[in-house]
Every structure is written in C-alpha cells, then in structure tokens.
Structure 1
C-alpha cells in the first residue's frame, strides 16, 4: 500500500448540493440518493434525487439560452470549448479522485484516462469549429447546418465524464443547449464540469444538469416536448426503451449501445504484441467498457500457445485497492455489477468451458468489496452465452478458428457491431478489417483517435459521436433555394 491513501476523500467532501440549472446551483426540494463506494460499501456522497419538475426547469433554462447561444459564431463557440478543456485540465486531480471514489477505477487510470480523455476530446471538438461546412452552395441552393435545439443527454457510469463530454462538446459546438442527466451511481464529476464550464464562459442555461434515476429524470427528458433530441449511451435493452419513448414526440435519437468486440489474430500476426494489447483492451477499467475486446479469435493450431501466453501475461493484472498507485484493476463499479459478472463466469464454468485463469467468487483477501477475478476461458464455443452476451467485466473468451472465412463469420456472428480488432501483416489485416461489421476496427493496436467518428452498427446503436460526424449528428440541414 502506498501513501496514495491520503487521496481518499473525506466523508461528505463530494456531496452535491443541487442540480445545475440556468448557470446556478438549484437545490433539490425532494429526497436524496447515496453514492456508494464499491471498495467497501461506504457512502461517499449524497446527491439530490430529481423530479420531472426539475427537468421542466432545466428545459426552460435551456430554451431561454438557445437563441443567443445558437446565434454565436462557431469560432466563438469553439473558443469556449477550448477554454473548457483548459479548465478541465486544471481540475484533473479532483476529477480523478471523484471517479475513483464513485466507481473504484484505479487512481492512476482515473488520472490518465477518465480525467485525461475528456480534455483531449474537448480540444478535438473545439478544433473543428473552422473545418465544418456550416453553409454550402449546391447548385442554386444554400445548404445550412443549424442546431437541432435542446439536446437531452443521458450518460452511463463506466466512464462518467468522458461519456458526458463526448455528447455535450459537439452538441454545444453545433449551437445547441443541453439538459444532462448523469448516471445516478456516478454523478460526482458533474458539478466539477459545471464549475469548469462557467469558468470557461459558457453562458448560463447552455448546460443544465439534473440528477436522479432513469425511471424519473431519464424518462422526463426522453418524453419532454421541449427537448428536440436525445443522445443516450448505455445498454442495448435500455436504448431500445429510450427510442420507443422518444418516438411519441418524434425526437431525433442517437444511441451508443452495447458491444461484443471480436479481436481477430491472423496467422501472420506478431503474437507477443497481440497478447499484450488484447489484455490491455479487454481488462482496462475492469472490463467495464462497451468496446472491450472480449472475444479473442485465434488460429486453431496456435490456440494453446496463445492461451499460455495470455495466462502468463495476466499475472501482471493485479487486483487491489484503487487508491494504491500500483493497482492495475480495481473493483467493479457496484455490488450489483459484481453479481452480474460473477453470474456469467459461473455460467461459463457450468457450461463446461475451459477455465484457464480466474474464475467465480471473491478475490482472496478482498472479500468485502466488488472485486472480481479477471477471467479467461479457452476453447470457447462462439455460440455460448459468454461469447454472445455483453458481460461488462474482465472476462475474455478465446475462440479457435480454422479458416479466415470462419473467423470473419464468428466475428460478425453477434447482434452487436460496435468495435472489432485485427492483428496481422498490415495489408492483410486491412483487408480483413473491411469485412468486419463494426463501426470502428483497430488494426495492430491502433490508438484511439478523438477526431474519428465513434459508433456502432446493428444493435450497437445509431448515429456517431466525435469528429466531424459527431458534430454533424447534432445539426439539422436546411436548404434555401436561390
């Protein structure tokens, strides 16, 4: 254990006093919710439990701010976002501590990824202000990109601030105003964001935040007649319900949903590199990522060799106290999440899958919190439950294949199409990447690019986030005939 434990927030240090409406804290007039640490079950903060009336107030503030903000030039809106990135950077340590407290992400990961990615994404979006064709002449028509209006943003708990920024930064650059509901179990960065946005010069009412549960606040946002678009990130099951609820007012809906990423290792791949990257992308954030590489497809004649290398490399993925700087994997985000992931591991064992690392049950010495053992199943049937359903935990399935066509069929053989990965000789890997049904494909461990579009096909969602396409998602096209 290191002296990083001094970073643990004091009791009630992270309490949220109220919602953020019209540029000011708006105290809730109802009950509160508790934010619980997955490390030991302790209450780390209380948060107001919002109501439909709170959503009404937030929508009114957003609509009042819309005319002025939408008429601001894209360059000026981009400048605000550029300043917001700087304000978030100055608050990196506070953001990291809040995220570790609420979801148990290791503090080193919280600083680098959870607090770092939002800065990079905000900067990337700001840089697009001068590159998007806000107006374009096509024949005798002037085609104009205009803001959709008021955007409702519903975000998940696994990357609390990153998922928020991925929505609000492009929405704001496009000239929209926003009503945000952060995840009720991971809301602690929202007031830090509000503070940073105000310091960056974002006008009052352009960003509004209402805390609460999905069945109340999320439902009110989704069905509200004053909200013109809903952007949701979460499970496929909930995303379907959001789309149905929003249809009554014919809102635009953008959905970033689940995934079951296949990582296809070709015979000409660098196996050492593929193994290292596979575990990094499978188990980072304790596997709680929609794009986690949870299915590893390997040549059948190299299966045992690759599995042995995976098991050896897995020893470095220590599970422990997330406040310790050396911890690689913290707990899952909640006890409920632990129950879900552990049940999948138990189902894999009961189905007779070849368990080669980890397994069900508590981590020895860490029985109190939501700590799970990172798990590897080998010789997995691609039709099995663990190979088909999104587990959202550190569970890797190794699937052998006998031909490239079979591997592509297995990779495409789920309801999901969010991400994929390929390792092999570059031209060969690129050719295979073109055959995969996914919104983004990583070749030989290619890095995350905040200027590239992100989104899925099939039941992984509709629409795109980030990059030019992510900004255009929040615009309407108007054709003016001349």
Structure 2
C-alpha cells in the first residue's frame, strides 16, 4: 500500500507535526481501506519553506531540462498504472476497468499535453524594441478532488512543472493513495527536492493553511463551488492568484426532430460514467415537448439496463459513489425530486437490488422536471438524470442558462442548427454531437463554475506571470 501516514516534503517522507490519523473507507464494502494522516499548518509551513527554497533554482532551469524531467515522469507513471487503478477502485469506487483506462489514462494525457505545450510555447515575445516575457509565478498550492484523482492532479502538476513552478499538493482525504503513489513516481523520476511536496489532510486543516499562506503565490483549486468560495476568501488577504474549476449542472439540448436513438446514448453515457461523479456531466437533458415522453421511455430503459456492482470486478458496470455521506445526500435529493412532483421513470431511493452494503445508488431518471425544482438546480453528483421539456429554441436556451453554473453544455442534432446555440450558451465548453474532452482544449467555467482554464497551453499559462522588459536588449537575452 502507498504511504498515506506521512507527507512527502523536500524529497523525503516525513512524519506530521501534530497531525491525527483517520480511516479511509472503501465505499463498496464500508470497510477500512487505508489509514491517513491529516496534516497541520506546521506541515504546510515546512512544505512551503522547501518549495520556496527549491524555486530559486528550479525556476531557472531551461526548457530542455524540464522537457527531460517530464519525459522521465511519463516513463515512471506508465510503470505504476496498475497500482493507480487499484487505489482508485478501492478508495472512490470506480470500476477497475475504467480506473485502468480513463482514470489512470487521463493522467498520461495531461502529461503528454504539458510536454507538448512546453516544447512549443513562446515564453518571450518581442514588441517593437521591447519584450514581454512569461515567467513561473512562484510557489503554488494545488488542491484536488476525489472524483477524478489522477486527472486533476496531473492537470495541475504537469503544467506547473512545465512552467518552472514549485508546489505543494493537497489531495482529497477521501482518495489520498493516488497522490502518495504519484509522489513515489516523481521521486523515482528524479524531481529535485522541494519542487514537489505532498501534504495530506482535509480542507479545514491543510486547505485553509495553504490558501492563507503569505509565501504561496497561487492556489489552483478543483472542487465544489462552496469550497471554492472559502478558498478565495482565505486567499484574499494575501492577494494571491486563485484559479478554480468548480461545480456544474450541464444542460444537454436535444434539438427538435433529432432521431432519439442517435442522440440519447451519448448523453446517457455521460451521466452514468463514473457513477455520475463528474462536474461536467450532462445531467439536465432538454428535449422538445413533442419528443419528451418518447425520450423518457428510451432513457429510462437505458438507465434501467445499467448494471451496478463491485468495482474490483472487470466489466461494463458502475460502482458505488464515494462515501456514505455522498450516498445520503443523493438519496435526499432523489426523495426531494419525488416530493416536488417530478415523474420518477426508473430508479429511486435505496440501494440496487441484491446489494445490501456499500454506497451504491440506483441509476435514476426523472421526467417532466421544471426549472424551479431542486433536482433541476442542484448538482447531484450521482447517476441521476433529469429530463426537461422545452417549447422552442429560445426556451431551450433560457432553460440551459437558468443556472448559477457554467462549466459545460451539450447540443445534439443537426450541426447547422446547433451552431446557433454555441454563442448563446453561457458555458466554458460546448460539446456538439457527443464530442468529448480534448486535453489540448481549454477547460474551465463561466459564472460559479470557476475562473481560469486548465489543459494544454492554457493550463501552462495559468502558472505564468507576465513581465514587460522595456528598452532594447541583445537578441539573445530573454
């Protein structure tokens, strides 16, 4: 098992200064999967001192040196994919097949794009006799969630390393083992001491200390909007940069007249993937009123056919949600949907048939959902889809935008028809006809879904500061 009882600081595994131990629960069995040390502000201080010291030298490394380092990390990461997959399946319940491919594979995808961005990025631009240079912002705090653990770690660590920053990572306390494995990967790849530091812990103890720390130059946070607001408030007194990727309630507009057998499976798959625990999942399906009932029947059949089971078993099924606390919240929202008058098409409260333990949720579909209903407004973060009828294109756009979130949106149907929606929808990404995430495209949200962008060169730029050099210099001076 990876080491989750110590922190990785300044190139060494070290004991916590005053931390306490808690259990990490396997959501499929309700049993203890690991023990975790919850760090303290003193641990954060030690990590920041190491990162600040390392920044003096690492920030001055050449592009070629950082390319070589990232290439070594890729090699070491590939060796540990099976370990990463087992940790994800055990701690957050993602089926082992998906954990091995999409979950662990997303980390490799981000490493590859960080490499591409670093190789091709112009860090210096001449404007007349002057020059604009882009330099690493400094010491950065990276706070990541449990739902896509390696995806979010590498979406931050890869470009931060490419930019020349040093860092402190605080992963989710609900899925900490991936981060410990990743620290071992970086150690094996020869990352210099202090460049990467791992402090395990929770938001109250470690996250707050990171956001408030005067010697941290930037916080990059992925998580709930509620937690993101607290990070921003804690960071405000030190006027540090805060980049955030937060919650979502993405609409999926099925254009009027679109063949449903063609349009529905992609939207269904996007909700069921990862047991619905994806911030960009298309959880609000908007269907023209003339096709709503047919869509409800077809979507209900697809959800009802989805198997739910043991994440350690290979196969095309979904696992549990991450925790009993999350299960309780989802059950409450499903019951609220019933109480507020939405039509329950399939699923509902309780565990799926045959499962007497674990945080398993019945794949659930509601129809005839109106914008004022709780399940149309709140991010459920489970395998729950709501179908909402609309009158015409203008009504669809109004409903799509009727949310405090703006992370993603989906449009299915004739591309010429879909085009008119792209500029009207307030979201950071619009996926047309089941287009998926691309690691070289910017990812981030409008409104309360956050600020800043990740992935590829856009993620690299988040970790760079802009400097004007005014006055003629020799051409070889950057």
Q: Same fold by TM (over 0.5)?
A: yes
Q: Which residue of 1 is the match for residue 13 of structure 2?
A: 25
Q: Which residue of 1 is the match for residue 78 of structure 2?
A: 89
Q: Which residue of 2 is the match for residue 79 of structure 1?
A: 68
Of residues 19, 32, 41, the one that matches 2:30 is 41
Q: Match of 1:365, SS? A: coil
Q: For 2:54 and 2:91, how far apart are their aligned partners in 1?
A: 32
Of residues 443, 449, 462, the one that matches 2:438 is 449
- Worse overlay, 319-328 or 230-239: 319-328
Q: Match of 1:71, SS? A: coil
For structure 2, the 5+ residue unaligned runs are: 472-478
For structure 1, the 5+ residue unaligned runs are: 1-12
Q: For 1:79 and 1:121, how far apart are their aligned partners in 2?
A: 16
Q: For 2:178 and 2:354, how far apart are their aligned partners in 1?
A: 30
Q: Which residue of 2 is the match for residue 302 of structure 1?
A: 291
Alignment of 1:429-448 (within 5 A): 429-448=418-437
Q: Which residue of 2 is the match for residue 369 of structure 1?
A: 358
- Worse overlay, 421-430 or 28-37: 28-37
Q: Is the 8 A contact 2:138 2:217 kept in 1?
A: yes
User: Is residue 2:103 matched to residue 1:124?
Assistant: no
User: Is residue 2:226 matched to residue 1:237?
Assistant: yes
User: Is residue 2:182 matched to residue 1:226?
Assistant: no
Q: For 1:408 and 1:363, how far apart are their aligned partners in 2?
A: 35
Of residues 137, 140, 144, the one that matches 2:129 is 140
Of residues 271, 276, 282, the one that matches 1:287 is 276
**Alpha-carbon deviations, 1:418-474, whole Å to 9, x = none?**
000001111221221221110001100112210000000001001001121111011
**Alpha-carbon deviations, 1:157-213, whole Å to 9, x = none?**
111111111111111111100101110111001121111112223211111000011
Q: Alpha-carbon deviation of 1:64? A: 1.0
Q: Alpha-carbon deviation of 1:90? A: 1.6
Q: For 1:311 and 1:413, how far apart are their aligned partners in 2?
A: 25
Q: Which residue of 2 is the match for residue 476 of structure 1?
A: 465
Q: For 2:108 and 2:291, how far apart are their aligned partners in 1?
A: 41
Q: Match of 2:34, SS? A: strand
User: Is residue 2:303 matched to residue 1:314?
Assistant: yes
Q: Which residue of 2 is the match for residue 331 of structure 1?
A: 320
**Alpha-carbon deviations, 1:210-247, whole Å to 9, x = none?**
00111011111010111000011111111111101100
- Worse overlay, 217-226 or 359-368: 359-368
Of residues 176, 181, 204, the one that matches 2:170 is 181
Q: Is the 8 A contact 2:411 2:433 kept in 1?
A: yes
Of residues 38, 51, 69, the one that matches 2:40 is 51
Q: Which residue of 2 is the match for residue 425 of structure 1?
A: 414
Q: Is the 8 A contact 2:390 2:396 kept in 1?
A: yes
Q: How many residues align?
A: 470
Aligned CA RMSD, in angstroms, stands at 1.2
TM-score, scaled relative to structure 1? 0.95
Q: For 1:316 and 1:397, how far apart are their aligned partners in 2?
A: 17
Q: Which residue of 2 is the match for residue 5 of structure 1?
A: none
Q: Is the 8 A contact 1:89 1:116 kept in 2?
A: no
Q: Is the 8 A contact 2:4 2:200 kept in 1?
A: no
Q: Match of 1:417, SS? A: coil
Q: Match of 1:468, SS? A: helix
User: Is residue 2:346 matched to residue 1:354?
Assistant: no
